[in-house]
Structure 1
Amino acid sequence: MVLSMKALVIKEFTVGEGDKYLTLFTDKYGRIEVFAKKAKRSKTSVLSGTELFVYGNFIVEKIRDTYKLSNVEIIRSFYDLRKDIVTLSYASFIIEFLNEVLKENSTNRNLLRLALYTLNELPKKNLSENLVRFVFETRALRYLGYMPNVYGCVQCNKNIEQLDTNKHYAFSIEMGGLVCEQCIQQLNLEYVYRLKAGTVYTLRHALTAPFKQLYYFTAPDELINEFCKVSDRFLRFYIDKDFKTLDFIRNL
């Protein structure tokens, strides 16, 4: 059976004298493993089309449970990601994140769109690479089914859409969202953060803003730091993974 799909290369490694195994994040079939015979020795688009970060139209032959690459037409190579080590490192984190959280043959088109848009925006440096990382993580968790409630109390459903800029708001990592003052006094919770209203607004932006606006906003450093801290804790609570690229980034 011959299949056609749009896909992002999120892992590639060479075997033998020039064959490759690819991990593709596809629009139709989710994550799949593909064998590319003689990819490194090919004189066609298969050679450049099997590199990490490439997004393209892939023609794949499925034989039982095995996928074999027939051809690829490159849509985007994301060459700009390789121009400096910092941008490349954060792009590599996004790829590692996808490899860790994606399940085989389970589609997630919103997450694919987010990854592609983020890889496109990273080299523009409108936001710092570190802030892009946390915005990406926050939005990705939404598409993975871990969207926190930032508009109401997760315990009693009290509406907290309107925020007072002079107040702080309780955010529970373990309950997954805001907790009103009445409920917070009744519950024995760990991992509760007292967030400024501006931080809650930043969380809302990261979770719901249209893609074209996602990485275009400003906020004081104090709010950005608070947002990054709670986003990191939220990720660690729900996605219990150690990312090697983050260790590398910390040492840059």
Structure 2
Amino acid sequence: MDTETRAVVMRQIKTVNGRRMIVLFSRKYGKISAGTSLSESGKSKSALALRPYTYGRYELAKVKENFYINGAEALRSYYRIGEDVDKYLQASYVLEFTDKLLAEGEPAQELFDLLTAFLSMMEERKKAYGTLVLGYLCQAVVWSGSAPDLERCVLCKASETKYFSVADGGLLCESCAEKSERDRRLIFPVTVDIIDVFKYLMEGPLKNLSALALRGDLEKKIRNILRSYIAYHMGIEELKSESFIV
């Protein structure tokens, strides 16, 4: 079966005899691994289309359960991400996270659109790259169906909350936090500001973050909570690229 799809290159895997497996995130097929013997040398459209971050059009042949790339054309390279080390590291983290989040061969069109929007915004962004990354992570958590409860205490439904419990999946009032037998390392004190920022990051479209730059201390607190939450509920942790951005 021959087919064509638009996709983002997530990463490459070198195999034998100079061949490579290209991990693509396709809007049509989801995450797929496709073999190719196309040359990556030079500046041709097909060569550019095999590099990470590139958004391109791919001609695929499917034999049984295996995909092969017979032709490729780069539609957008997001080259300015690679010109800034911090941008590159932040975007690498997002690609690695997304790769871990996706199951092979399951379409995820909403997440695909979110990723391409993120890459476009990151390429144009001048500062506060970490804020945009947090927005992407929050909306990916919502997409996965693992969003925390940020409206009230998840245990007693009290409206006044002062803590975020990773294990309980949301906010806790002071009384429930004190009585909790959960691991204290997974219970974080939160302010109204932290809760409001979490809601804003999770509820609004990514384009709303184009001018948002969180304070450094606030960004760090939210990142620590989110990292623990993603590890606990989604099993995604110890990403290789994470050590370069913390």
TM-score range, shorter chain: 0.7 to 0.9
CA distance in 1, matches of 2:207, 2:118: 10
* 1:80 and 2:76 matched: no
Q: In the alignment, which residue of structure 1 is the partner of 2:199?
A: 204
* 1:48 and 2:48 matched: yes
TM (norm. structure 1) is 0.84
Determine what percentage of the aligned residue pairs are the same residue. Answer: 20
Q: Which moved more, 1:134-143 or 1:83-92?
A: 134-143
Structure 1 residues without counterparts, runs of 5 or longer: none
Flag the 1:132–1:42 CA change in 2: closer, same or farther, 3 A: closer
Q: In the alignment, which residue of structure 2 is the partner of 1:247?
A: 243
Q: Is the 8 A contact 1:19 1:40 kept in 2?
A: no
Q: Secondary structure at the match of 1:104?
A: coil
Q: Is the 8 A contact 2:131 2:213 kept in 1?
A: no
Q: Is the 8 A contact 1:18 1:41 kept in 2?
A: no
**Cα drift, residue 117 of structure 1:** 1.6
Amino acid at match of 2:2: V
Q: Is the 8 A contact 1:111 1:143 kept in 2?
A: yes
**Cα drift, residue 44 of structure 1:** 5.6
Q: Is the 8 A contact 1:31 1:102 kept in 2?
A: yes
Q: Is the 8 A contact 2:29 2:106 kept in 1?
A: yes
Q: In the alignment, which residue of structure 2 is the partner of 1:105?
A: 105
Q: Is the 8 A contact 1:126 1:216 kept in 2?
A: no
Q: Which moved more, 1:36-45 or 1:101-110?
A: 36-45
CA distance in 1, matches of 2:170, 2:127: 25
Q: Secondary structure at the match of 1:50?
A: coil
**Cα drift, residue 60 of structure 1:** 0.9
Q: Secondary structure at the match of 2:162?
A: strand
Q: Is the 8 A contact 2:48 2:73 kept in 1?
A: no
Could you give the per-residue CA deviations for residues 75-94 of structure 1, whole angstroms, max 9, x where no partner exists?
Answer: 21111111121111111111
Flag the 1:82–1:220 CA change in 2: closer, same or farther, 3 A: closer
Flag the 1:126–1:175 CA change in 2: closer, same or farther, 3 A: farther
Q: In the alignment, which residue of structure 2 is the partner of 1:214?
A: 209
Structure 2 residues without counterparts, runs of 5 or longer: none
Q: Is the 8 A contact 2:125 2:210 kept in 1?
A: no
* 1:93 and 2:93 matched: yes
Alignment of structure 1 residues 17-28 onto 2, 5 Å: 18-28=18-28
Flag the 1:156–1:52 CA change in 2: closer, same or farther, 3 A: same
**Cα drift, residue 218 of structure 1:** 4.7
Q: Secondary structure at the match of 1:39?
A: coil
Could you give the per-residue CA deviations for residues 32-84 of structure 1, whole angstroms, max 9, x where no partner exists?
Answer: 11111233369863222111111122221111011111222322111111112
**Cα drift, residue 182 of structure 1:** 5.3
> How many corresponding residue pairs?
243
Flag the 1:242–1:43 CA change in 2: closer, same or farther, 3 A: closer
Amino acid at match of 2:150: V
Amino acid at match of 1:213: N
Amino acid at match of 1:224: E
CA distance in 1, matches of 2:53, 2:227: 24
After TM superposition, which residue ranges in structure 1, 4 or more long, deviate above 4 angstroms? 14-18, 41-44, 218-222
CA distance in 1, matches of 2:112, 2:83: 23
Could you give the per-residue CA deviations for residues 8-31 of structure 1, whole angstroms, max 9, x where no partner exists?
Answer: 100124445653310011112111
CA distance in 2, matches of 1:220, 1:27: 34
Q: In the alignment, which residue of structure 2 is the partner of 1:224?
A: 219
Flag the 1:229–1:242 CA change in 2: closer, same or farther, 3 A: closer
